[in-house]
Amino acid sequence: MDSHALRKLFEQVRRKRLSPDQAVERLRHLPFEDLGFAKIDHHRALRQGMPEVIFAQGKTPLQVADIFTRLAAHGGNVLATRATEEQFAAVAAAMDLAEYRPEYRPIARAIVLKRDRKLQGKGVIVIVSAGTSDIPVAEEAVVTAELMGNNVQHIYDVGVAGIHRLLAHRGALAKAHVIVVCAGMEGALPSVVGGLVGVPVIAVPTSVGYGAAFEGLAALLGMMNSCASNVSVVNIDNGFGAGYVASLINRR
């Protein structure tokens, strides 16, 4: 928990092997991470149960396997998002003899190594998707939130054009501590959900749609302009980010 390098420096001053001036000088040339400032330790405390994360898209299976095993050596949970089955095969092979085995969540396109199963969140995180095509993004949020120690519940395919489908789940929404809403096309669902509840809503625009959906831009703009005051937004298709922010809120 302390900074070895720093303490050693002070020891040397104490033993008068270094004058204060020399110590100041030397301090200036120490690599920053050796200073062991509180932030890092504090962070570690905060970060209990937080997964190490790999954005697998665009990496080779071997690269993913390599980073994954390296992160797994830290002892916590590990998550690789946007991962293919080929990447998972490489990770599984690399961790064949490990005590904990990674698993693949195909819809979320995630490789998950879950060792720390302690519940960190105080309430339930509800993940909502507007259509069935938004489910992969929603599942990425689900996997992320679960790996960060939360009770997660999902409500899928409750888009605004059939509002009764959403209203049927008002009970579940009312019990949520924080809600993630994934929607493509016009991205209207977060506003409706936001109006039904009094808790923070994390909106995720998805690239679902065609034509004037412009790869999620229409949904993104819609969500930025939400008339519900409790909505904030993450990047297009960023289920991971939404699950991460929701988990942090759920720990408050």
Residues in region 147-166 near a second copy by CB under 8 A: 159-165
| Spatial CA neighbour of 147 closest among 56, 82, 50, 72 | 50
Residue 1 Cα distances to 9, 37, 50, angstroms: 16, 10, 18
Site for a second copy in 174-213 (CB under 8 A): 174, 177-178, 184-188, 191-192, 194-200, 202, 205, 207, 209-213
211 conformational bin, left if phi > 0, alpha if psi -120 to 50, beta if neither: left
Residue 34 Cα distances to 37, 46, 48, 123, angstroms: 8, 20, 21, 37
Rule CB under 8 A: say whether 101 interacts with a second copy. Answer: no
Site for a second copy in 34-63 (CB under 8 A): 35-40, 42-43, 46-47, 50, 53, 57-58
Q: What is the largest CA-CA distance in the chain?
A: 77
Distance CA 178, CA 9 (A): 46
Which of residues 10, 70, 75, 93 is near a second copy by CB under 8 A? Answer: 10
Distance CA 56, CA 34 (A): 29
Site for a second copy in 110-129 (CB under 8 A): 122-123
Is residue 69 within a helix (H) or strand (E), and if so which, with residue range?
Answer: helix 61-72
Least distance (Å) from a second copy to the CB of residue 66? 12
Least distance (Å) from a second copy to the CB of residue 202? 6
In the complex with a second copy, which residue's Cβ is closer, 92 or 228? 228
Q: Going along 139-207, which residue ranges are E strands?
A: 151-155, 176-183, 201-205
Please give the size of the binding site for a second copy, defined by CB under 8 A. 110
Which of residues 11, 72, 147, 152 is near a second copy by CB under 8 A? Answer: 11
Q: Estimate the crossing angle of helix 85-94 against helix 61-72, to 10 degrees.
A: 50
The site string for a second copy over 210-229 (x = CB under 8 A, - otherwise) reads: xxxxxxxxxxxxxxxxxxxx
Rule CB under 8 A: say whether 245 interacts with a second copy. Answer: yes
Q: Are 196 and 173 in contact (CB under 8 A)?
A: yes
Least distance (Å) from a second copy to the CB of residue 101? 25
In the complex with a second copy, which residue's Cβ is closer, 88 or 250? 250
Rule CB under 8 A: say whether 239 interacts with a second copy. Answer: no
In the complex with a second copy, which residue's Cβ is closer, 10 or 101? 10
